Amino acid sequence: MVCSTAMLVIGLLICTFVLCSSENVLPQHEKFVLKFRRGGMVCTNEQSGLTCTSPRAHHDQGTVSSHRNIFSSERDGDYALGFERASDDSWFLSIYAYHPSNGTAGSSIWRASSVDGSEVQVPSNSSLVFLQSGNLELRGSEGGLQWTPNTWGLGVTELVFFFRGSSKSAGGNLILFDSANQLVWQSMRPLKTNELRLGMASRSDIVCTSGESSGMDCNPALEFPMNPSRGTGNHRNVISYNGDGKYALGIERLADTATFFLSIYIWNQSSGTATGPSIWRASHGRSSIPVAVDEHAIVAFRRNGAFELRDHSNKLLWTTGQTGASELGFNFDTGDLFLYNREGSIIWRSGGEASLQYVALFVSPTTEYPVPKLNPGSRALAMA
Ligand SMILES: *[C@@H]1O[C@H](CO)[C@@H](O)[C@H](O)[C@H]1NC(C)=O
Ligand SMILES: *[C@@H]1O[C@H](CO)[C@@H](O)[C@H](O)[C@H]1NC(C)=O
Ligand SMILES: *[C@@H]1O[C@H](CO)[C@@H](O)[C@H](O)[C@H]1NC(C)=O
């Protein structure tokens, strides 16, 4: 009896940790999915290599001494999540492009960092814990908590790591979703390269007015690299990059109408057109209905940290509020707009305001620009 109970328990344990949990992780072509309701997982970076309590998506352990993959794919150049050696006995938790054919990795596009922005380093024998409650914890060799996205209690049900760009997200992004498929946390942060930083507190208000045919006239005038490409009558750039295929912020005309939005879109300077639909439009709260403005829209960056949209009569239509932000950041690679406080923490972001739109960021980037019907009160203006 004791024996059979023990057998049953052992059987259940085997089922829990080996057989049944093999459904816990779903390696797919573009992404790796972990469903928390099927159990947690612990991956420990031992001296000899990485071990996980549950099957992983990795196809290559990362036998090289510099990288130990937790999730990786079989294709060269796909992104991997893993431990990256910082020094002899010190590791980062990182995301990097990985090449299984020769076992090498590219430079990291993300590293777990503490609130002050410093990158966390942990010794050998540290673990990344995937808690069934939907939180992640990086614990040092002595078990102390070194890093967490702090999603405990936020209803996270699924982790998705995108090996490469897909219809839902950018490659190399680690996302935690709740049961309503809302984005709760993601690793993607502004890249330091190709990010414009504008000191707001340190200068006077910048007020930009949309002209008759193209471009925005700003007072004081915007400096490079803020506005080298004025745009066209349909896309009047406020912030743009001196090149093709980068995101721009500007006033966008709703096709062939007198309705305009404050939007973020990919701008092609050579052709003078936007590529694909806008990835973000100023809207109230989490609403997906963008705020409409007339042709002579005013966009202002205030000293008090407010980023505003006004109509031709200077009536305030939309604002981030007096956030006290000291800097504005715009990432030309991701199209993310940020407001930072003095400590460098993000206090407002374009994606955070309507995270579903952010997830929709990479939906059909090659489709034609949609011509949404003007249908106030409906969600018809939500992005494709
Ligand atoms: C490894 O392979 C990748 C992809 O094929 C290549 O880009 C990279 O240069 C290679 N690295 C080395 C050190 O051979
Ligand atoms: C890691 O753990 C093993 C076994 O517990 C131990 O022998 C080894 O010294 C540890 N290494 C470090 C760097 O803590
Ligand atoms: C930009 O436009 C030019 C000219 O129409 C085109 O050849 C090029 O492929 C476009 N580039 C991007 C990144 O869309």
Distance in Å, CA 94 to ligand 1 centroid: 19
Q: Tell me the C-alpha distance between 202 and 111, whole Å.
A: 30
Closest residue by Cα to atom 2, ligand 2, is 125
Any ligand 1 atom below 6 A from CB of 106: no
Any ligand 1 atom below 6 A from CB of 76: yes
How high is the pLDDT of residue 357?
32
Any ligand 2 atom below 6 A from CB of 143: no
pTM: 0.50
For residue 348, give both structure tokens.
């407002």
Distance in Å, CA 270 to ligand 3 centroid: 6
The mean pLDDT of the chain is 77
* Residue 335, pLDDT above cutoff 60: yes
Q: Are 214 and 295 in contact (CB under 8 A)?
A: no
| CA dihedral for 171, 176, 182, 186, sign (positive or negative) | negative
Residues with CB under 6 A from ligand 3: 244-245, 268, 270-271, 275
How high is the pLDDT of residue 251?
94
Any ligand 2 atom below 6 A from CB of 76: no
Using a pLDDT cut of 90, give the percent of the chain over it: 35
What pLDDT, in 10s, does the model give residues 122-147? 999 999 999 999 999 999 999 999 99
Name which of 95, 51, 103 is nearest 76 in CA terms: 103
List the single range of 47-56, 62-71, 161-170, 290-299 with lowest mean pLDDT: 161-170
Which ligand 1 atom is at minimum distance from the Cα of 77? 4
Closest residue by Cα to atom 6, ligand 3, is 271
Any ligand 1 atom below 6 A from CB of 16: no
* Residue 100, pLDDT above cutoff 60: yes
Type of residue found at 193: T
List the single range of 36-40, 75-79, 356-360 with lowest mean pLDDT: 356-360
Higher pLDDT among residues 25 and 156, named by residue: 156
Distance in Å, CA 374 to ligand 2 centroid: 64
Q: Tell me the C-alpha distance between 110 and 113, whole Å.
A: 9
Q: Are 157 and 134 in contact (CB under 8 A)?
A: yes
* Residue 79, pLDDT above cutoff 50: yes
List the single range of 35-49, 194-208, 234-248 with lowest mean pLDDT: 194-208
Closest residue by Cα to atom 7, ligand 2, is 47
Q: Tell me the C-alpha distance between 283 and 330, whole Å.
A: 18
For residue 222, give both structure tokens.
């915007």
Type of residue found at 344: G
Any ligand 2 atom below 6 A from CB of 124: yes
